[in-house]
A and B are shown apart, each in its own frame.
Chain A
Amino acid sequence: MSNLLEVRNLNVKFRIDGGKIFEAVKGVSFDVPTNSTVALVGESGSGKSVSAMSIVRLLPRETAIVSPDSEVNFGGLNLLAASEQKMRDIRGKEISVIFQEPMSSLNPVFTVGDQIAEVLRLHTNMTRAQAWTRAEELMAEVGIPHPKSRMKSFPHELSGGQQQRVMIAQAIACEPKLLIADEPTTALDVTIQKQILDLIAKLQAKHHMSVLFITHDLAVVGEIADHVVVMQSGEIKEKGTAKAIFEAPQHPYTKALLSCRPSVEKRPRRLPVIDDFLRPEGVNQANLIERKRGYTADDKIVLEVKNLSKHFSMREGFFKKRDVPAVKDATFKLARGKTLGLVGESGSGKTTVGLTLMRLHEATGGEVFFEGVDLLKLSENDFTKYKRRIQIIFQNPYASLNPRFTVGQILMEPMEIHSIGKDTQERVNMSMALLKRVGMPEVSFYKYPHEFSGGQRQRIAIARCLTMKPDVLICDESVSALDVSVQAQVLNLLQDLQDEYQMSYIFISHDLAVVKYISDQVMVMSEGAVIEVANSDDIYLNPQQEYTRKLLGSIPKGWQGVAAPAPISA
């Protein structure tokens, strides 16, 4: 098998603030064989996207420096040394790219038909009419319903999945030899992700393209890749066939990546983390023992929610208002020391449930009983003393800590508000102890949030909640923005804290595997309605509802032995 693309000794640096230089990619070499899919895998900052973008020279001109001895050979041509004119001929025709955010990657003021036709008119001799007809065929090929009328739509009129299909249609329009897909499914819901992955695999086989697939998600890699390149901090840690990487990983980092992501099948007591693989003694086998989950009859219920609903009103026409239901009659119970998982796709209302429970949104109707009191009926004043009992950890660790506060101020604030601890000294001591408990050095107390990474910030956010010793902790997509290795650490921390303090969690996530791992009971939501509530093992093994089955069926299965040839007709 010959190589379509050979990357040799790629070095990329960035000029960053203050005249400093940051080495993003350090001496990376890999091949993309003809007619195959190569996955470039790594966590954020691994340099995977930078490597891919330097192949087509789409890095920001002002700041990126590609070392002169780097080479990217494509059909006998070193792309890094080719003329700008030559590169323009190659981009879109020989090598196309699809990006992570389909919404912002399409030009908002042109119709999607125009945007697909544009690339055809540029690289072929088609007339306007021919290009338009061909674009329509492409729209049909990527599975957009009613392509004729959709051609005249603007990007914002399409759903996220359809937008990504348009991007793909645009990319394959000129039958490129190489398709670079930069995290093409990360911004999409799991069911849509499955469709897009299937589409890419189908097109790859049909058009005999090669695909360079960039992703952080090994489960996705297992589904589509023939070859895998694992990167970390700008370097390649391991490369090989998918079979070799998944079945016999050599590098500890690869091993860690493979095992620290929760899977639907297994539920170890603690998730292995990278450090476990770097230690000579390896992973502690005691931690891998299966953990039993589920509500039992003698569980004490701390929170009981009945018919919770929330409507948002939107203005429509002249004076009219329309109610948009975000949550419809949600009813569930939360047991002490247990975790309730809330899963659903975007727009399912799962986050609204969490915010409404804490009265960060005012509920439209329903009851929330906590220790026999309906929290929703309390006055603002009476509710204040319950606030510390229910706390929340948000998704974005970069936005949830006040950037102008030191970590010390962040931790002390809730204690001051709720008069926890008798004086400042005691509060300082408690803060220090909590920092230690969440695995942060005490010196963090004096630092500002911008000095910490995402995972560390999430630990600080957890410590802030712990200052109030809450009974219920709502984790709103709290680990979704984190890299898998960090995700495992934070999940382990949450589990340890639950075991220690007997807190109850409401764990909100779009990630079915994570929810399965951490939850005792799972509630599936769709379009504001509760579809199904059951113990997590039951729901995963024996889903009762069609929607739940569809959702579970979309979870990337990861490596399933020798990759079956991609289905031609999907």
Chain B
Amino acid sequence: MGAYVLRRLWQMIPTLAGVMLLIFVLFNWVGGDPALVLAGKITNKEQIENIRKQLGVDQPSYIQLAYFGFEVATGFTCTWRSYTEKPTDSPKPTADAKADTKTDTKADTTDAAKAAPSGCQAVRSWATNEEVPKILTSRIGPTLTIMIPVLILETVFGVILAIGVAYVRGSLTDRMIMMVCTVAMSISFLVYIIVAQYYFGFKWGMFPVQGWSDSFWKNLTTYAPLPILLAVFVGLAPALRLYRSFFLDEINNDYVRTARAKGLAEKTVMLKHVLRNAMIPILTNIGIALPGIFVGSFLLESFFSIPGLGREILVAVNRSDFPVIKAATVYLAMITMLINLAVDVLYKAVDPRVSFK
């Protein structure tokens, strides 16, 4: 197994390099000159040239790529951005995070960037000048507060309901439930959120309309329940459909016939033999969904003003705050790969046929 894990870690290197290459190509080439994006409405050639130097985009691409690699590895960015600049004593105050007017924010940031001292400093947001690693680590808590309960509830309810539906497969109940699921899945998540927030929060006051606090328990008991319930409710229909299909796939296998031939009751057949086998694809599916919990439901986070990672990324996208998006993408890709490896190793526990080769 050690050899397997080592080999998998080794294989991650090219993939991670690929992710960085993709991000680099995307943000430095496809999107055009990042300096122009940062400059926003500034048209002064000289100023733009300065920004290009600060960003290092005047360098050959392989050097830019190397800088990017360094940034990813250390979370720091170094002197190239200001080597032609005279160091000033102190960076200008950061731009107001709440300022929504893009150009103003950017102009401020540009000044701040220009004034950055030589030497190394943490990679900062273009929009708020906050240190990017700090942004990411501070936003992950609220996201997980929402998403971990969602994942657990969705899986538990999904599996229980799917067994029930698979047990009565082909019946009217089964067909009705599947129909309801299809219809429920066809309504946009947005509609659910808008309606639920209006009625449960605004009109009936059962939950706060939005908000977040510093206390974990207050968050979990006051602010999180509505978003969690919404996410579970919306996620349940597709989960139920999928898990039901896993159960039905298993039911047609020969070993189920053997179990019946032994004289086992249908309930035992389902809850022991079929469930144990269906857990394999179900776990695979959870493994696929697991990395997604870090981005969280960005829609829920923005509707309910939850200061999570998803909302942060969305805000960054709206402000074209490239450093934040790039960092989030690369680091989440790393986490995803590690989770995938962990899931594959855990697989051995559910499926004895798995061997690490």
Contacts and interface: CB of A to CB of B under 8 A. Distances in A.
Touching in the complex, A and B, CB below 8 A? yes
Contact of B262 (A109, A110, A119, A156): A119
Contact of A109 (B7, B258, B263, B352): B352
A91 interface: yes
Contacts of A88: 263-265
Contact of A107 (B263, B277, B357): B277
A176 to B, nearest CB: 10
Contact of A93 (B3, B263, B276): B263
B170 interface: yes
A317 interface: yes
Interface stretch (B130-138, B154-162, B249-257, B286-294): B249-257
A72 B346 CA distance: 48
Contact of A90 (B254, B263, B265): B263
B254 A105 contact: yes
B170 A62 contact: yes
A91 B170 contact: no
B350 interface: yes
Contact of B350 (A96, A109, A154, A314): A109
A107 B255 contact: yes
Interface in B304-357: 350-353, 357
A319 B255 contact: no
Contact of B276 (A91, A99, A106, A110): A110
A106 to B, nearest CB: 6
Contacts of B277: 107-109
A154 B352 contact: yes
Contacts of B273: 107, 110
Nearest to B6: A318
A58 B170 CA distance: 18
Interface residues on B, range: 20 to 34
B353 A156 contact: yes
Interface in A137-182: 154, 156, 167, 170
Given A109-B350, A317-B3, A104 B263 contact: no
B352 A92 contact: no
A105 B255 contact: yes
Interface string B57-68: 000000000000
A107 B277 CA distance: 8
Contacts of A317: 3
Contacts of A92: 261-264
Contacts of B260: 58, 91
A314 B357 CA distance: 9
Contact of A122 (B3, B264, B276): B264
A122 B262 contact: yes
Contacts of A123: 263
A56 B255 CA distance: 16
A348 to B, nearest CB: 24
B259 interface: yes
A118 interface: yes
Contact of A56 (B261, B276, B357): B261
Interface string B4-26: 10110010000000000000000
A413 interface: no
A385 interface: no
B255 A91 contact: no
Nearest to B268: A122
A92 B262 CA distance: 4
Contacts of B10: 318
A38 B35 CA distance: 87
B262 A315 contact: no
A297 to B, nearest CB: 51
Interface string A99-130: 10100111111100000001100110000000
B254 A99 contact: yes
* Max chain A Cβ within 10 angstroms of own Cβ: one of B4, B6, B10, B257: B257
Contacts of A12: none
B258 A106 contact: yes
A318 B255 contact: no
Interface of B: 3-4, 6-7, 10, 170, 253-255, 257-265, 273, 276-277, 280, 350-353, 357
Going nearest first, the 7 A-B pairs with the smallest beta carbon separation are A92-B263, A91-B263, A318-B3, A92-B262, A104-B254, A97-B261, A154-B352
